Amino acid sequence: MHKRLGLWISWGLIIGFITMLTTMFLLGKPELNDQPIMIYDNEGELLGSVYPDGERLWSVLDQINPKLIEATLMIEDQNFYQHSGFDLKRIGGALLENIRQQNLAEGASTITQQYARNLYLSHEKTWLRKLAEAVYTFRLEQHYDKDTLLEGYLNTIYYGHGIYGVETASQFYFGKSTKQLSTAEIAMLVAIPNRPNAYSPLDHFDRAKQQQLNVLQTLKRTAVIDETAYDLATREQLEVIAKPLHDLQFGYVADLAIAEASQILEKDQFGGYHIYTTINSSNQDALSQAVQQHIEDLQVGALMADPATGAIEAMVGGVDYYQSTYNRAVQAKRMVGSTFKPILYYTALEHGFTAATTLKSEPTTFLFNDRDSYSPSNFNHAYADDTVTLAQALAVSDNIYAIKTQLFLTPELVIDRGRLLGISSPLDPVPALALGTASLSVEEIVAAYSHFANGGHQVDPYLVDHIVNDQGENVYHRDHRLGEQVLDEQVTFILNQLLTGMFDPNLSSYLSVTGGSISEDLSGNYAGKSGTTGTDSWMVGYSPELVVGVWTGYDDNRKLSNTHAAKRIWRDAIESGHDQKSRDSFIAPPGIVAAYIDPTTGLLSSEHCPVSRLMFFIEGTEPKQHCQADH
């Protein structure tokens, strides 16, 4: 079998080699594409620059520590200056091993091959990719001298944490240029690229240290360093840091901007392009500072956006981009808890409920599907054991009221409204959906709330405003027109007013309003909803000018003990965001009336029911009776 497989591979390689040679002569000089991508804020100020493959500080060859160059050559490609792109002896050995194992586990890539892969290809281990790599390797060797190829390679090696190139890695891991590195530090840097995630000295120091020792042994054996240098290097105590090249959030912004630009222009290469984003630098600083002040040991995802246009004005994708490039504001899907309830209650208001609609809050077991039961509970098992209004139930986040409402409407109807609001993640039609068992991204929930904040117009969050190519041509500009009206403006206004209730202590009784802990710190008339599960804490709120969504928790879904950070981050961010914005109230459309209502009975307030709340109704649906003494 091995002979047949070897014969098949040999014929494939011969045909591929002929194709490769033909391609090599037909194609011109390959572009090295080493121009950076420039990222700007909404005022046209430069936020930072990245190279097409990540963050990099480009260094010409004579600026790089010669000992680092020598060590790299010894570990990666000892015959680099002798071969023409391929080390045939190493390739032969690796090929026989791969045939024996029937896979591509064994590699023998030269520096030119690795550079070709870094520039043009993915890292998947397939014969097709290997063939394409060979084509590019031949072309690079044909058109560029060895020093140019070595310089390019040293500036494109991946070192983990979004870091590319030896100078960038030296600054990031050790806070110094390559020319200041010790032998021990050089060996550590040379060790990382083999498996950059597994050998990161920040995440896996013991493993990285072992690889460093292996490199030092090779350097001693090949006489790159002597015995004394080896002994000193093995004893040196390495001080590994994580010195960011940019603000800790810039990488998240750059990644999303480039991904969005790629989708817009349907291309992957943006070297030399200028991407102008919607980031408001003042809001970005405010959101970042709020996170740093309140996050403690949690992770975080947060967005600030203009609800009218969807323009993202600030984003936090995690505590530190250099520790984790995973964007928790966009990529993470987390259980949203009670932040889903505004979608439920918008649907209810659309189908006959009013702010004064009453249902009984008491321990309840719900039967559904003629066979299943569900027994939700309120926070701390606290119930009114009486009727409560929708206004109060929403303000204190009563779960019994929510489940009763959804069962009246049907989960399918609530899901339909969720889709209308831009939610694309799976939504299961079960009773618990009303309590937020769906897992959504911060971006999705901010998009949904933006529909409420802007009066019911279609909106999608976006980051890229316009793009200028490497020739100075404006190749894209965002359309800023208000989206079509997709929600009922009267119902939307009423919901907005209801969502201000979480900050109104007059609505506290058997449960406290969920925003009571921060209500005294707020200077604006905000609408919002918090949500808490065992592993997630949310706060999403807005004014007509700004919407802010914050999630906090742990990546590994550990049980959450700090449930206050999300609200505090939101409070500081939205207050700072309004320092440069007007503080307008939600404008009532025609056909809305207001009345003071008893939050327990849903009747007009009187001297018999001293607690009251101003509630809004579509004209003709407001209560007509006053509450009586027996209530």
Q: Is 76 a catalytic residue?
A: yes
Distance CA 452, CA 496 (A): 7
537 beta partners: 532, 552
**Helical ranges in 362-441 per DSSP H:** 390-396, 399-409, 411-420
pLDDT reported for residue 545: 96
Contacts of 389 (CB under 8 A, 6+ apart): 355, 356, 357, 358, 597, 599, 600, 601, 602, 615
Domain ranges of the chain: 2-34+51-235, 289-339+418-589, 591-631
Distance CA 399, CA 390 (A): 11
User: Cβ of 437: how many Cβ atoms within 10 Å?
Assistant: 16
Distance CA 188, CA 268 (A): 32
Burial of 207 (0-12, 13-18, 19+ CB in 10 A): middle
Specify the length of the chain in residues: 631
**Which residue is it, tokens 């990529």?**
331
Q: Residues 81-97: pLDDT tens digits? A: 988 777 666 655 545 54
Sign of the torsion formed by the C-alpha atoms of 502, 504, 509 and 513: positive
Residue from 480, 58, 583, 575 nearest 287 by CA: 575
Written as six digits, the tokens of 255 are: 């990644």
Strand pairing report for 37-40 and 46-50:
antiparallel
User: Cβ of 232: how many Cβ atoms within 10 Å?
Assistant: 13
Choose the CATH number for 2-34+51-235 among 3.30.360.10, 3.30.70.560, 3.30.70.20, 1.10.3810.10. 1.10.3810.10
Q: Over the chain (631 residues), what is each successive 10-residue block's mean pLDDT?
A: 49 53 54 79 91 74 94 93 75 50 53 84 55 78 90 91 90 94 97 93 94 96 95 95 83 95 92 94 96 94 97 97 93 98 98 97 88 91 95 97 96 97 96 96 98 97 96 94 96 98 94 96 95 97 97 96 94 92 86 94 86 94 85 48
Distance CA 177, CA 168 (A): 8
Q: Residues 393-442: pLDDT tens digits? A: 999 999 999 999 999 999 999 999 999 999 999 999 999 999 999 999 99
Choose the CATH number for 289-339+418-589 among 3.40.710.10, 3.40.50.720, 3.40.50.2300, 3.40.190.10. 3.40.710.10
pLDDT reported for residue 563: 87
Spell 58-97 as b/e; 16+ CB within 10 A means b: bbeeeebbebbbbbbbbbbbeebeebebbbeebbeebbee
Q: Is there a contact between 472 and 443 (Cβ–Cβ < 8 Å)?
A: no
Torsion of CA 167, 169, 173, 179, to 10 degrees: -20
Rg of the chain (C-alpha set) = 30
The type of residue at 417 is R
- Choosing from 324, 338, 530, 605, the catalytic residue is 338
pLDDT reported for residue 19: 55
pLDDT reported for residue 406: 96
Sign of the torsion formed by the C-alpha atoms of 344, 349, 355 and 361: negative
pLDDT reported for residue 35: 78
| Phi, psi (degrees; rounded to nearest 5) at 351 | -120, 40
Written as six digits, the tokens of 12 are: 């494939």
**For residue 511, what are the CA distances in angstroms to 359, 561, 577?**
16, 20, 30
The type of residue at 377 is S
Q: Is there a contact between 460 and 479 (Cβ–Cβ < 8 Å)?
A: no
Residue from 373, 295, 369 nearest 566 by CA: 295
Three-state SS at 364: coil
**Which residue is it, tokens 């009532």?**
588
- Choosing from 76, 106, 260, 350, the catalytic residue is 76
Written as six digits, the tokens of 490 are: 């009267």
Q: Is 338 a catalytic residue?
A: yes
Q: Is there a contact between 309 and 480 (Cβ–Cβ < 8 Å)?
A: yes
pLDDT reported for residue 49: 84
Element (H, E) at 461: none
Three state DSSP letters for 92-147: HHHHHHHHHHCCCCCCCCCHHHHHHHHHHCCCCCCHHHHHHHHHHHHHHHHHCCHH
